[in-house]
Structure 1
Amino acid sequence: MIGWLIQEEIPFTIRIRNNSYTFNSRGEKIRVDRLFQSLKVGETLTLTDSRLLGVCPVYLSGLRLSDGQLLIVATSSFHQNAIEVYGLRWEIETLFGCLKGRGFNLEETRVVGYLRIKKLLVLPVIAFCWSHKVGEWKNNSVLPIKTKTHQRPAQSIFRYGLDCIRSELFNTFSQSKKLRKKLISLLRPSSENKGFYSEQST
């Protein structure tokens, strides 16, 4: 794939496997993670010289993640902030993951037309933003997400908010006005929402 992108002159910022092979400054064949093994958690390093992945010249950047793993990115040209650029791409990938199998099953619609997809995306994207906002509010103001034994959260912020909204929608409400008030309070996190939430739960 990288070879095709270079041939078509398409700029890229792609995460690569840590066990991919390249060459060090002495021309020795090594795994790419060896080039970044000295990084501490939170530290980044961008190599100024291009390296070969197979026969493809790329520029490599690395980041030591909070769990100790390495994130290694290959780019088509030198970018000092390649890790930040990849972070933006990862946010987009995460969004589409939530719109698909992890949330709204968007691919099951089987819509292929550009304009139809464009229209179809509006509501799921709004729902994603709402879910994420509710998840942030509930995690910060009501009940923090549980942490598993390996120190990772049991749920994502998005999933936490989506489950909260689903739970509220399937509760029995005596009046539609009460439903609207409840949903608006979840959509607009504020200092008042915690009390409102507690009141409705008792």
Structure 2
Amino acid sequence: MKQRLIAKITTVLQHLPVVRNLARQKFVSQFIIALIKSRNVQFCEVAQHLNDAVKLASNETRIQDFFRETDLNYLVLAQLVLGLLPAQGKLRLCLDRTEWDFGQCQVNILLVTVGQGAFHVPLYWELLDNRSGNSNAADRIALLRVCVQVLGKDRIGLVLGDREFVGHAWFKWLKDNGLPFVMRLPRHHLLTHPSGRRQAITDLGLAVGQTRRFAQCQVDGVWGQVWGQVWVKALTDGDFLFLFGNVGLPYMGQLYAKRWTIEQCFQNLKGRGFNLEASHLRCHLKLRKLVALVSLAYAFCLGVGTVADRKSQPIGRKNHGYRAMSLSRHGLNILRQLSRPGTGAAEKLARMVETVLRWFCWQITRYQFTRKIVG
């Protein structure tokens, strides 16, 4: 069954060639399955599961050659992950940054996920070279421009970001480009009322749990549009949920709560999934490729887990009503089970996974060449 999965993934990569060469496409498929089996990005661990017909040293050499010599088309990769999403309807973008240190090497990744509901996959990312500092407006705008290019402005229903993603240039760009957004602000930012009076949110006199909404207010030199754009809620320990955006004011808190999907994505890319932080790579070009392959593996697991939960193997619920495991972890467990020796293609789960991959091929063939990608 492992070889059948590799062949199916290779077929998908032939429809949207992230890499052009067929041998490289087969390698990417093998690497994805090896990642799923090892749950570790270290090359020595992935090599244990890459190709059972050759020596371990040969597998490691092949992996090193790929990361040294092969270029990936990240715009095509973005189109590929979009094949897992419905071809119509608005999509939500979540923007965040993750970082870790390996010795004196500092890894700093700015990443955008895309999806609907709880289904979110990495769309595009860049590695920042600023000593693990925050991103700036130019970094964010460049990243979002690629997302607009891939998706089209009409498909973007909402852009979400945490307290790092603030500033006049950033807010103005989102507003001028007609992108609906909700961003959380640090508590020290001031409100500017239409009269010109400036006010700190700490002066609003809110008790814990209380909220205030401002229909006409300016933050960082940018006015809200139709609905007004500021929503403040007092939290415990003197903190505030301070939101600014250009969406429906009564629902701003509910919309911002959907940002948890990118946190869950990072958790599954790292400690709870593929242990991305264990990478020993220092080169940014190689690290960007590694994030791409891990993202493909994650998207594959999430797609399988979602279909299995709906149709063949529902995830159990705990007493509080939440799932006992995430959708991606569910898919990861299923794929690891299917890639074990002796697993047959006639098993129910195997048929389900092959059905998912066939649908994926149909989806990208039918829908994913409607936009011209340049670059």
- TM-score by structure 2 length? 0.33
The number of residues matched between the two structures is 156
Q: Is the 8 A contact 1:50 1:60 kept in 2?
A: no
Alignment equivalent of 1:94, drawn from 223, 242, 264: 264
- How far 1:97 moved relative to its partner? 1.9
Identify which of 202, 220, 232 aligns with 1:22: 202
1:16–1:74 contact (8 Å) kept in structure 2 = yes
Question: Are 1:186 and 2:353 matched, yes or no?
Answer: yes
Query: Which of 254, 257, 274 is matched with 1:104 structurally?
Result: 274
Q: Tell me what 1:117 maps to.
A: 287
Distance 1:14 1:185, change over 3 A: same
CA distance in 1 between partners of 2:282 and 2:207 (Å):
40
| Structure 1 position 7, deviation (Å) | 7.1
Alignment partners' CA distance in 2, 1:185 and 1:103 = 22
Are 2:308 and 2:314, in contact at CA under 8 Å, matched by a contact in 1?
Answer: yes
Distance 1:187 1:131, change over 3 A: farther
For residue 308 of structure 2, what is the aligned residue in structure 1?
138
RMSD across aligned positions (CA)? 4.3
* Distance 1:134-1:156 versus aligned 2 partners, 3 A rule: same
After TM superposition, the structure 1 = structure 2 runs for residues 1-202 of structure 1, keeping only pairs within 5 Å, are 11=171, 13-14=183-184, 22-24=202-204, 29-31=205-207, 33-35=209-211, 47-48=214-215, 59-60=230-231, 73-75=241-243, 77-80=244-247, 82=252, 86=256, 89-173=259-343, 178=345, 185-186=352-353, 188-189=355-356
Output the CA distance in 1 between the equivalents of 2:343 and 2:163. Answer: 58
Q: SS of the counterpart of 2:294?
A: helix
CA contact (8 A) 1:22 1:31 kept: no
Once the two structures are TM-superposed, the CA of residue 143 in structure 1 deviates from its matched residue by 2.1
Deviations 1:169-190 (A, max 9, x none): 224247xxx59xx768515339
Q: Distance in 1 between matches of 2:165 and 2:309?
A: 41
Task: Deviation per CA, 1:44-74: give whole Å up to 9, x if none.
Answer: xx5435599xxxxx93267xxxxxxxxx853
Which structure has more relative contact order (CA 8 Å, sep 6+)? It is 2
Which deviations, in whole Å up to 9, do the C-alpha atoms of 1:110-136 show, x marking residues without a partner?
A: 434321121111221111111111111
Shift in CA distance, 103/141, structure 1 to aligned 2, threshold 3 Å: same
Read off the aligned partner of 2:290 and give its amino acid letter.
L
* 1:153–1:89 Cα change, 3 Å: closer
Summarize deviations over 1:12-56 as a string: whole Å, max 9, x none: 823889xxx7343xxxx22462117xxxxxxxxx5435599xxxx
| Whole-Å separation in 2 of the counterparts to 1:169 and 1:31 | 54
1:94 Cα shift? 2.5
Whichever residue aligns with residue 157 of structure 1, its letter is L
The answer to whether the Cα contact below 8 Å between 2:163 and 2:183 also exists between their aligned partners in 1 is: no
Q: Is the 8 A contact 2:214 2:230 kept in 1?
A: yes
User: What is the CA distance between 1:137 and its match in structure 2?
Assistant: 1.4
Distance 1:61 1:150, change over 3 A: same
Q: Is the 8 A contact 2:274 2:294 kept in 1?
A: yes
- Given residue 134 of structure 1, which amino acid in structure 2 is its aligned partner? V
- 1:98 offset after TM fit, Å? 1.0
Contact 1:135–1:160, Cα closer than 8 Å, also in 2: yes
Once residues 163 and 332 of structure 2 are traced to their aligned partners in structure 1, the CA distance between those partners, rounded to angstroms, is: 40
**TM-score in terms of structure 1 length:** 0.57
